[in-house]
Amino acid sequence: MDFLNELNGKYSISNNQLEFYKENKFIKIKNIFSPELIQYYNSRITKVVDRLSKESVPLEDRDTYGKAFLQLFNLWTIDDEVKKFIFSKKIAKIASDLMEVDGVRMYHDQALFKEGGGGITPWHADQYYWPLDSDKTITAWIPLQDTPLEMGPLEFSSGSHIIKEGRDLAISDDSERIIHEKLRVTDFKHVIEKFDIGEISFHSGWVFHRAGANQTNNVRKVMTVIYMDRNMKLKKPENDGQINDWKTWCPNAKIGEIIDSPINPILY
């Protein structure tokens, strides 16, 4: 099936949506894609994940991170049909408009499949891992099915991007405990809502978020695309995660220069 017109169609962010994002650093938007498109790419992405997944450790024997989800990266380089989905100009333009930049380029994509019975995704801020010199980053979190609360949809701490404490924590049991305690004594609203099919959330690199356990017998399938300002520069890494990301997702980029490697194409 050919969904190119829908993938690359226009979506105009309203002033109210932009103001909401600027204040909270996340937003959920319904009906970006049709159920038919999501169902098609659910099947297509699942086939790629099944082919690539090498996880052999039983769920009960994994650590917290391993129980959270199966994680596979840069599917756009592996399957041309999935690439059409990842390179959607509609999503890329929304990302660009929300960040109020002239355009965006790829940081990387991720398939996040939380198995039936899979555990929590601990509180964390994504940009801990990224050697990027500004906060002009955003992740599109795209569920590939209706995602009720029992499946563990993404949760947000609205406006928590202003908190500095916890930014130095990798995703772990410690991040769940320490950040939970910090957020508990603040006035930031904890947003936990289901996702309808075709609904997509966008969140900045520094807003704290988590996901609950998948209490169903079905896999919670999600595709994510991480965008950065097209003029994003590489900064000197501050931890081992950022060193790894430099080598993996920004190959041959130089500190202080725009990240313009073959796997960081401009998407809008």
Domain-by-domain residue ranges, the chain?
Answer: 4-249
Q: Are 181 and 86 in contact (CB under 8 A)?
A: no
Residue-wise pLDDT tens for the chain (268 aa)? 789 999 999 999 999 999 999 999 999 999 999 999 999 999 999 999 999 887 555 556 546 545 455 899 999 999 999 999 999 999 999 999 999 999 999 999 999 999 999 999 999 999 999 999 999 999 999 999 999 999 999 999 999 998 877 677 777 788 788 787 877 757 799 999 999 999 999 999 999 999 999 999 999 999 999 999 999 999 999 999 999 999 999 999 999 999 999 999 999 9
> Bridge-partner residues for 155, per DSSP?
192, 210
Please name which of 265, 260, 241 lies closest in space to residue 250, comparing C-alpha atoms: 260
Domain covering 4-249 in this structure, CATH number: 2.60.120.620
Angle at 171 between CA 178 and CA 223, to 5 degrees: 135
Q: Are 160 and 182 in contact (CB under 8 A)?
A: no
Strand-pair category, 209-211 with 190-192: unpaired
pTM, two decimal places: 0.91
In 3-state terms, what secondary structure has residue 195?
A: strand
Residue 29 tokens, joined: 């938007």
Please name which of 108, 110, 98, 172 lies closest in space to residue 135, comparing C-alpha atoms: 98
Give the span between the Cα atoms of 66 and 108, in whole angstroms.
20
- Strands in 154-157's sheet, in edge-to-edge order, are 121-124, 209-211, 154-157, 190-192
b/e map 48-57, b = 16+ CB within 10 Å: bbeeeeeeee
Strand-pair category, 190-192 with 154-157: antiparallel
Angle at 128 between CA 228 and CA 16, to 5 degrees: 50
